[in-house]
Structure formats: structure tokens, C-alpha cells
Amino acid sequence: MGSPSSAYTLFGFDFGHNEGQRELIRLINIDPVLMPVVYCVGGAGTGKTFATLAACLNLVRGPRNTRKFKTIFYIREPVEIGHRLGYLKGTEEEKYGPYLGPLLDNYNHLMENISLDNGHPMREPKRKDAIIDAPLYDRLPSDIVPLAPEFMRGRSFNDALLIVDEAQNMTLDEIQTMVTRIGNHSKMILIGSPNQIDVPGQSVEKNDFETSYEILKPTELVGYVKLVEPMRTSFVVDFDLRFVEYKEKNRK
């Protein structure tokens, strides 16, 4: 019989020792009929996207007894920090590509540590192009599909996991659009850090991301987990909180 955290060892990483990540993975694994939406809140460096991607990949690509979905859709609000880049020329892929860097970083980190899972290497779907300087879209595997939020309206997603990253930068209307795209046997994970909002008019204390959770909470169909333990480095969380405290103090 395996250790208590063995069920939370994915791609060679043991998430079982991190209470928040363990709960996040548990919520993602709940039947989507019972819990179609999961909210994941946490500061910088707590491994929100990393743990979410690992759990979702295991449900799409893992051993046969864990495969529950066909595709992962990755949605991220294309909001820049500070100065705006303005209008970008090119196709949708060329414009949205730069925002996929964090996803690709997390994916590559998982694949580099893939070693053994249930006694055999987990196979990775072929990529369109493995060249390091290829466009970001071309370096993603076929079972992870990136989408810009602007192109979500009117769509319906079945047999899919939808990761909505940087959701703290979304408005209430945008989040409403996101959660009403969920089709049959699909699940959405909304990831956000209220400490790092890059859009005007919202704050740690009052933002549409957490307001949307309060709106949906009475349905008893949404899960919520807050990550606090640092995964990146121990000082990152402390640095993040010090900036938050300073900004709150000067706002009053």
C-alpha cells in the first residue's frame, strides 16, 4: 500500500505534502456533475497553475483508470503589467502567443520530471514542432488548446477541462461568460491572485473574481481552495504580502 501522499504524486512531483495543493487536486478530481467549477486563490509562488495543470494532465493523459477527459483548454486574460503594448499586428496566434509563456514553462517543468508514474513512463503526445525557437503555439502538445477569452462567447465545451488563468483580471461579465460555456462532462478551474490585479477599479478587498465565487457559492456546485504555502521560494510569498500591506496602508 502506498504512502498517504502517493495519490497526489503526479509526473514525479509529490503534491501531497502541500495541504492547499492536495485539496486543489482533490477538488479537480471530483465528478464534474457534482462540482463543475473550482476556484483556486493564492499569492505569487504558491503553485496554482502548476498543480492545476498537473492534475488536469493526469485526467487527460494518465493511466487508463485516471483518464476522464479528452482535452485541456487554457484561457488567460491578455492583460499586461504596467505600460500597455497597444495594438499588436499579426494573427490571433501571434497576438496571444506571448501570454502562453507561463503555461509552456509549467508544462515543460512537468515533462522534464516525468520519470515514472504507476510503473511506466507517461507518454507525451507529439508536438507540431519541438524546435526551441518555434512559436509558442507550435510548442504546445495537441491535448492542450489555448484560447483567448474574447473568443469564448457562443461556444460550448464537452468532455474537457478548462483552466482559466489570471482570473483576477476578469470582470464579472467575463467570468459569467466563462462559467456558462461549460458543457457536458466538463470542468472549469478559475485561478487567480487578488494580490496581483493589473486592471483599474479593483482591489484585494473588492474584486470581481472573488465576488463571482460568492454569487455561485449558494449553488453548492463550486469548490474553493486557497494556497498559502510557497512553492517557488520561501521569500516570494513574504515579498508579495509586504507589497500588499504597503499598498493597503497607503490607500487608506
Instruction: Order the strands of the 37-42 sheet from edge to edge.
Output: 144-147, 71-76, 160-165, 187-192, 37-42, 222-227
Instruction: Identify the residue with better confidence: 195 or 97.
Output: 195
Read off the pTM: 0.83
Closest CA relative to residue 41, chosen from 162, 190, 141, 153: 190
| C-alpha distance from residue 184 to each of 38, 147, 188 (Å) | 16, 19, 12
- Whole-number pLDDT of residue 241: 78
pLDDT level of residue 221 (50, 70, 90 thresholds) = very high
pLDDT band at residue 144 under the 50/70/90 scheme: very high
Cα-Cα end-to-end distance for the chain: 55
Higher pLDDT, residue 133 or 124 = 124
Give the pLDDT score at 212: 97
Site of grid cell 471530483: 30
Tens of pLDDT along 159-212? Answer: 999 999 999 999 999 999 999 999 999 999 999 998 888 788 888 888 999 999
Contact 171, 209 (CB under 8 A): no
61 vs 90: which has the higher pLDDT: 61
Residue that is written with C-alpha cell 482591489 in the block: 203
